[in-house]
Structure 1
Amino acid sequence: MPKVQPFPQPPAAWSRPWWWAAAGFAMLVVVGLVAPLTPLAWAGGVAYLVVSTTLLSLGLRRRGTVRFGAANAVTATRSALVGVVTALVVAAFGGGGSTALLVTIAAFALALDGVDGYVARRTASVSELGGRFDMEVDAFLLLVLSIYDARFLGWWVLSIGLMRYAFVAAAWVLPFFARPLPYRYWRKVVTAACGIALAVVASQLLPAVANTVLVGTALALLVESFGRDVLWLVRMNRTGPRLVSPENAPAHDPGRARDESR
């Protein structure tokens, strides 16, 4: 059996979170040269980069490290792209930005979503922190895209971006909502479908009716996915803990599969 070659790790300097925040800022500068960014758009993009990187740094520090591996480097790249998307969305409400740039960058961020999990498995660097980082980047990308699309379809589209945060808020009131969930690959499929649907609507290539049907279908899938998790949590809260087989090992977060974490 041929020996599997180790996946290349990023250089030590580039394994520190703030370097990736700096890369995101450089992306903002380049985008600003191509499409006008309002001061508020700059503030939104930079705020996302600073807050997300600060939270990631605190998570790494709690685990006794300040560096991350190749898989988290991929997620950090996606996070930098999400910072740029955030700035472009804010700029759009002020008459600036560029739809073509926004859709292109969002598409790159969505395409990279499956890469970090693959790299994590190749490098045997699965961790709870990596999975949480990946999930939060996904959740925020869906939120900003749904805000952008609300201009075309109405504010009901925000339900896609806010559903993850509503789930988290529910856990503050009902602690059993924070219970680890069994692995379901379907969650990953639904997240990807929602991201693609929102990006397509943002491009405005389809007629309004088709956009409504597309996003409505994505919302229905998301409601089904979260609804199934809620029913499982309620049932488990009533019946108490039970043993979970290895193949159904619980995920640490409701939106991500165990094998997607780093």
Structure 2
Amino acid sequence: MSPHAVALRAGLQRGRIEFRQTTTSPQDLWSVMFFPVIALVVMYMLRDNTVPGTGFSLGTQSIPGILGANVVFAGMMMLALSLTMDREDGTLLRAKATPNGMVGYLTGKVLSRAGTAVVGLLVPLVPAAFLFDGLRLGEASAWLTLTWVVALGLVAVLPIGAILGALFDTAQGAGFVGVPIMGLMSISGVFYPLSSFPEWLQWVAQAFPLYWMGLGLRSAMLPDAMAAAEIGDSWRHLETAAMLGVWALAGLVLAPIMLRRMARRESGSTVAARRHKAQQRTM
């Protein structure tokens, strides 16, 4: 086998191990499930409210967007935090010192984060199916749409997580990115139809993959009649695929550049400096 094939095989094994560790750790599982659990409780209390102009439950309408936002958090943000934490404790430096170690390391990280993101979608979906009426989960076409939207969405957001992990030296710094993402989530139609927002906010939201992920999941899980609450009275599948595809292409081009640049800067002295700074913060 070629060296790259060996590295990829090691990455697959690493991804499987890390995924198993995450799914068997109550603390890690709770970090993935915290947001959807709280959001499901809130939406359940709002289940009697209706989407403007329809008799459809606002709580049910929000479920796909909530699950889509959780995919973004569990995929993009967790990958960024994993990279920065591994830079702080020297794991990334050890991978760099191993022949083709970065290939195996990144393969494992991406696969484990993608698997965790899928778990973060499917596990809350089970209670949601019983708590909220109107979800279209009994049709094969719904699951087909859900599959391609999630797959393309992960390809779009995971490279962004890798870029963020390369930009920030510490997990604390990367964690601050969650603040603007929460703001973006509030205007992306997750909790309320985007068509009800001012036009300039609609354009801002449509520039980011979070909105398109939510729209795609709504098209998979909600009745076709609910497309009337969306911009253009349509699920816009072609636009969803195109926008997520553009983000995926841009991320796949930029992420390797940023990761190579990050790897070149890693050394024993930089790791030691980060540890010293971390010790000062805890004192």
How would you bin the TM-score normalised by the shorter chain?
0.3 to 0.5
Return the structure number with greater helix share.
Answer: 2
Greater relative contact order (Cα < 8 A, sep 6+):
2
Larger Rg: 2
What TM-score comes out, normalization by structure 2 length?
0.32
What TM-score comes out, normalization by structure 1 length?
0.34
